[in-house]
Amino acid sequence: MSENGGGLQSGVRITDNNLNGHAVDEWLDCSPKPPEQLMAVHLTRKTFSQFLPTNRAEMLQRGWDELDVLFVSGDAYVDHPAFGAPLLARLLEAEGYRVGILTQPDWRSLEAFRVMGRPRLFAAISAGAMDSMVNHYTAAKKIRRNDAYTPGGKAGARPNRAVIAYTAAVKGAFKGLPTVIGGIEASLRRLAHYDYWDDKVRRSVLTDSKADLLLYGMAERTLVEIAGRMADQQPVNELTNIRGTAYLAAQAPETAVRLPDFEETAADTKAYGLAFRLASEQANAANARPLAQRHGKRWVIVQPPAAPLSSADLDRIYSLPFLKQPHPGYTEAIPAYEQIRFSITTHRGCFGGCAFCAIGHHQGKTIQSRSIDSITREADRLTEHPEFRGTVTDVGGPTANMYGLYCGNLQAEQGCRRASCLFPEPCRHLVQSDAQAVALLRSLRDRPGIKHVFVASGIRYDLLKQQPAYLEELLRHHVGGLLKVAPEATTAAITRIMRKPGPEAFTDFLDTFRERSRSLGQRQAVVPYLISGHPGCRLTDMVEAALFLKRHRLQVEQVQDFTPTPGSLATCIYHTGCDPFTSKPIYVPRSIEERRMQKALLLWHRPENRNLIVEALRRCGREDARRELLGDDAGRTDRQGAYAKKRAGRKKP
C-alpha cells in the first residue's frame, strides 16, 4: 500500500524512553470527535458524511451496516491524495467497495478495532506515512517529542513496529479475517533487514506480523486486484501470483532468485550484503524475477514489482473526490496537513538512486507523471477551498524537475538493471527535456484565482544544465525566497558513496543561481541539505565540508544526522561495513561522540558548537583550519572554556 492513514482512539505513551516498549504512564485520546461534541464549530452531519466513515455512526449515515474493507493506519485521517491510506480507500470506494478508516487505534484494546464491525473482505493495515521507529526516535535513539501526522503534533500516537501491533490486534478482534499489510514500514521490511533500533537483522515483517499478504510499493493496482479476487470468493492463500505482493509458502518457485536465508544473513554480514545485491537486481518491473528467502521452515516469496502507472491511471486517481481537509472531528491542527494542504503532486518515482534514500525502493525508478490538464484541474479545485488565498505552496514530487522525464529507448529500459539513471554518469537514453515542466509552470500561472506558484520540492541541480528554460522559469517566478537543493556532501569521495553528483556540480550551480538571481533583481538564496555521519564520512571530510560552506557563504540551519533506515544501500553499508556491489570496505562512524562532532562541523557558524569543533579539529590533525573556520586563535576557545568553568564554580548550589 502507499503510506498514511487516519486517527481514532489513539493511545499515546508518555515516557522518556519507549525503545523497548516499557510501561505506559498515560494515554491521550487523539480521535476525531462525533458531531454532537462539536456544535461550537457549527459542523453538520452532512459535513461528516462527505468523509469516509471512521466509526459506526458515520457508517449508518451512509446506510451501511457492513464494510467491505477496513483500513487501519497510524496517521490521522486527512482526506488528501498526499496521504496514502485515504488515497487507496478513495480508490476502492470508486471501484464500488464500502470502506472505512480506523485511525491511530488503541492497539491494546480489541474493542477499539471493532468500532465499525467485521469487514466482509479484509483489513488493510499500515503504520502510516513513516516507519514507526523513524517516527518515534532520532538518529541518536532518543524519543521524539512530536509527530507531524497526529492532531496537535503529539508524539507516540502509534505503537513501535505499528504494522506488527495493529495486525495482532486485528487478528484478535476478528478471528480468521484476512490481513493485508502495506505502506512504507511493510514495504521496506519485506525481506530480512537490518534494524538500527535493535541493532540486529530482523525477519521479514510478513513473518513477524503473521499477516496473510504484504503489499509493497504504492500498490493501487495491486490492491484493486486483491479486492476484486476476494470479492469473487477466492481465498487469500490462493493470491500468490499478484505483482507487488509478498506471501509465505512451503516451497520456493523454480523461477525465483534465492536469497541467503534469514538465519544466514543474521549471522554473516557478507551473506547480508549478497542478499541486498541480489534483491536490488530485481527492481525493474519489466525484467524482474520473484525473490525467495527462507525463514525457518517457510519461504518469504516476493513477486516482481507492479508495473508503473500510466499518466491516465494517475490522472484518474487524482481526480477522485478528495476533500483536501482533515476529518472534521479533529479539534487540533495536524502539522503534516498544514505543510501540504495547498501543494500539488505532479509525479512519483525517482531515478537518482541515492544510497541513503528509499524512495526508489518504494515508488520505483520510473517517473510517472500526471498530465498537465489533470494538474491544472486540481489547481482549479484548490481555488474553491475555503482557506485558499491564491498561493500554491509546492508543485513537485520526490524531485521537482524530474517531472515529464523518461527513458527514450523502450528496449533498453526493459532490460535495464541500473539503480540510477544519473550515477555514475547520466544514462544516454535518459530524456532530460524540460519542455513539459516549463509548459506546466506557465499553465498554472495563468489559472484564474492563482496568484503565486512555488516549487518547494527538492531540485536535482545536476539536471539543470540540460534544463535551462526550467531554471529560468524557476528563478523568475517560482522560488519563494529560498530554493532547496540536496548536495548532501561536499567531498568527492563521500558523494561517490552516496551516489550523488560531485562538489564541482554544486559549485557550478551555486554560481549560476547567484549570478542569474542577481541579474533578475531577485533576492533569493539556496538552502543546501547535508548529511552527517553517513557511511564513508570521517571528521576530515566534515572539516572540508565546513570550509566549503564558509568559503561559499552558506549557513545551514538543519543537518540530517544519518539514520540507517530499512531498505537503503547506505543502511546495508552501515551494517556490513562494505559496499555490497564491490565488496570494498567503507568506514562507518558509529560513536555518538564522533557523530556529534560531524554534525557540529556542518553547523560551524553556531557559537554553541565551537568547543566540539575545536576538539574535532584537534582529533583529525586539522588545527590549521581553525583560524579560517572559527576566526580565532588557538587560545580563544580555551580561555572561553576556562571562563565558563569559573562562572559555573561561582553558582550557588
Quickly state the pLDDT bin for 242 (edges 50, 70, 90). very high
* Rg of the chain in Å (alpha carbons): 25
**pLDDT score at 289:** 98
Residues 462 and 583: their CA atoms lie apart, in Å, by 28
Which tens digit of pLDDT belongs to each residue from 280-328? 999 999 999 999 999 999 999 999 999 999 999 999 999 999 999 999 9
- Helix/strand/coil percent split, the chain, to 5: 40, 15, 45
The number of CA neighbours under 13 Å toward the Cβ of 258 is 11
Q: Residue 587 sits in a domain of what CATH number? A: 3.30.750.200
Residue 4 has pLDDT above 50, yes or no: no
- Same domain for 202 and 57? yes
Query: Cell numbers at residue 197, please?
Result: 533500533
150 touches 93 (CB < 8 A): no
- Decide if 610 is inside a domain: yes
Residues 522 and 508: their CA atoms lie apart, in Å, by 19
Of 258, 259, 222, which is closest to residue 242 (Cα–Cα)?
Answer: 222
**pLDDT score at 9:** 32
Amino acid at 500: K
Query: Cell numbers at residue 18, please?
Result: 519507549
- Decide if 350 is inside a domain: yes
- Same domain for 471 and 542? no
Residues 127 and 161: their CA atoms lie apart, in Å, by 8
Residues 330 and 195: their CA atoms lie apart, in Å, by 34
- Same domain for 268 and 284? yes
- Longest CA–CA separation in the chain, Å: 79
- Decide if 208 is inside a domain: yes
Q: Tell me the residue ranges of DSSP E strands in 210-357.
A: 213-215, 245-249, 257-258, 291-295, 298-302, 325-326, 343-345, 347-348
**pLDDT score at 111:** 96
358 touches 188 (CB < 8 A): yes
Residue 11 has pLDDT above 70, yes or no: no
The number of CA neighbours under 13 Å toward the Cβ of 289 is 13
- Same domain for 466 and 493? no
Which tens digit of pLDDT belongs to each residue from 15-64? 333 333 332 233 345 667 665 554 434 344 447 789 999 999 999 999 99
- Same domain for 491 and 457? no
Which tens digit of pLDDT belongs to each residue from 571-615? 999 999 999 999 999 999 999 999 999 999 999 999 999 999 999
Query: What's the gap between Cα 398 and its chain centre?
Result: 9
- Decide if 170 is inside a domain: yes
- Same domain for 349 and 222? no
- Decide if 622 is inside a domain: yes
Of 415, 299, 411, 330, which is closest to residue 29 (Cα–Cα)?
Answer: 330
- Same domain for 571 and 455? no
Which tens digit of pLDDT belongs to each residue from 432-484? 999 999 999 999 999 999 999 999 998 999 999 999 999 999 999 999 889 98
- Same domain for 170 and 158? yes
Mark which of 236, 270, 302 sits at the end of a domain.
302
Query: Cell numbers at residue 319, please?
Result: 481526480
Which tens digit of pLDDT belongs to each residue from 334-362? 999 999 999 999 999 999 999 999 898 89
Query: What's the gap between Cα 74 and its chain centre?
Result: 14
Alpha-carbon torsion, ordered 549, 552, 557, 559, to 10 deg? -40
- Same domain for 249 and 358? no
Q: Residue 387 sits in a domain of what CATH number? A: 3.30.750.210
- Same domain for 159 and 129? yes
Of 82, 173, 170, which is closest to residue 125 (Cα–Cα)?
Answer: 170
**pLDDT score at 540:** 97
153 touches 147 (CB < 8 A): yes
319 touches 311 (CB < 8 A): no
Query: Cell numbers at residue 191, please?
Result: 525481506
Amino acid at 365: K
Residues 421 and 320: their CA atoms lie apart, in Å, by 32
Of 532, 545, 529, 557, which is closest to residue 490 (Cα–Cα)?
Answer: 545
Domain range spanning residue 523? 483-498+510-653
- Decide if 62 is inside a domain: yes
Mark which of 302, 325, 357 sits at the end of a domain.
302
Find the DSSP H helices in 125-204.
Answer: 132-136, 162-173, 183-188
CB atoms under 10 Å from CB of 652, counted, come to 3
Quickly state the pLDDT bin for 386 (edges 50, 70, 90). confident
**Per-chain mean pLDDT for the chain:** 91
Residue 131 has pLDDT above 90, yes or no: yes
Q: Residue 163 sits in a domain of what CATH number? A: 3.40.50.280
Average pLDDT over residues 362-384: 96
Residues 517 and 432: their CA atoms lie apart, in Å, by 23
- Decide if 331 is inside a domain: no
**pLDDT score at 576:** 98
**pLDDT score at 35:** 54
Residues 65 and 239: their CA atoms lie apart, in Å, by 27
**pLDDT score at 156:** 84
Total domains in the fold of the chain: 3
- Percent of the chain residues past pLDDT 70, beyond the cut: 90
Residue bearing cell 522518556: 16
Average pLDDT over residues 157-162: 95
Mark which of 275, 302, 329 sits at the end of a domain.
302
Q: What is the DSSP string of 446-463?
A: TSTT--EE---S-B-GGG
Query: For residue 235, which phi and psi values (nearest 5 degrees)?
Result: -60, 145
- Same domain for 91 and 180? yes
- Same domain for 124 and 156? yes
Which tens digit of pLDDT belongs to each residue from 392-446? 999 999 999 999 999 999 999 999 999 999 999 999 999 999 999 999 999 999 9
- Decide if 111 is inside a domain: yes
**pLDDT score at 43:** 45
